[in-house]
Structure 1
Amino acid sequence: MTHQTIRISLVIWERLLKSLNAALFTALLCLGLYALLTNFSEARGALGKLFVKLTQIESFEGFNVKAAFKVDQIAQSTPIYQDLPAEMKDMLPEDIRSLRAAWVERLLYVGDQGKLCVFEFADQKMSEGYHADQHLAADGLISMKDSREVKAQVLEDMRQAKAKNEAWPNGEPRSCYVTELTKRGRNVKTALVQFLRAGFAAATATPAAQRDNARMKVADMAR
């Protein structure tokens, strides 16, 4: 085997290790998002924090090979990114990068969060949810609109609870509101779901399909 052949083989091997590292990293991120989306109540908080930590990492070391990973890749690898006008393409990576753990969960569950209110004696979870909504609204990902209808429903719930001598620790609702995804918010949510779908499909592929895909990658790198 000539020196040139050995050098080419090492280059191909290094590229393969980078691909494997990136694939493993992506699969872990996608599985975390999958658990978050499927509402595993005990895991959601930890997985949300894990998601943010992973998306803030630009590189990591493995097998003595440095593989780069950036949040931009989440946006740019999704079908929705390709269909967006230029100005929206610039916004999508920035919007994803701005998310924090609690905001990710809050964004994914917009419209499925029950009656949203600011209570007289709100507990920590309620306060954190409200502040997350405020940040998402300030970033232009959701809208927050006051709702007298929701407030009336919550006041009735409180009245009925007190009539039955049931606990009502949060006091009266000071204000209530409804949230809705904006166009930018829908783009972010769609991008995350599409990224998850692609990664989960790859992670659950049959061994034969995985081997075929690996051989194709090696062949492409050798060209």
Structure 2
Amino acid sequence: MREALIVWGGWHGHEPEQCAAMVAGILRDESFQVHLENSTRAFASPRLSTMSLIVPIYTMSRIDKDEMTNLSQAVREGTGLAGFHGGMGDAFREAVEYQFMCGGQWVAHPGNIIDYRVNITRPDDPIMERIRDFDYRSEQYYMHVDPSNEVLATTTFSGEHAYWTKDVVMPVVWKRRYGEGRVFYSSLGHVAKEFDVPEMRTILRRGMVWAARS
């Protein structure tokens, strides 16, 4: 049986405990044995490299050097990494190696909670199969992203809340490689209620399964 580790904590505004429970349920439905931890010390465990998948849900906060070293080594050697919104894309701001591994870092969400459109750019990818462009209400993430990412969905900024962002096309969902490991990220999912949106939930579920080591 594949094993997944969910490490949750950090800023409470992203409801990390509730979101961790949602993710755990999804992974159990996909026949994973799920382990939940609420401290970054879990990233220093020797067992990390035996996991099929790691899901960080840990907005902001800090990660110690030994934790980061162990985490990046596990992914480089083949453990999958997958996550969403600030739990993965705005975790450990001072750890540039973490950002290198994830393929991006949050920098702003102009207008805070707004309505925006998600555009599917790779409908041929299995993660996006039968998912069409959809409207979404949440924080529209403006991110600094790695050009080597394989982008699966984007959003276009209107410029209404930050005029200099008008017509900027920003990745929303991507996948990538980090050594032997598969990395998946979606910027959707500000709070646990957003798991009720079928597209958000399906994209994350498929992305986590794709990232997981067989």
- Taking structure 1 as the reference length, what is the TM-score of the superposition? 0.27
Of structures 1 and 2, the larger Rg is shown by 1
More strand by share: 2
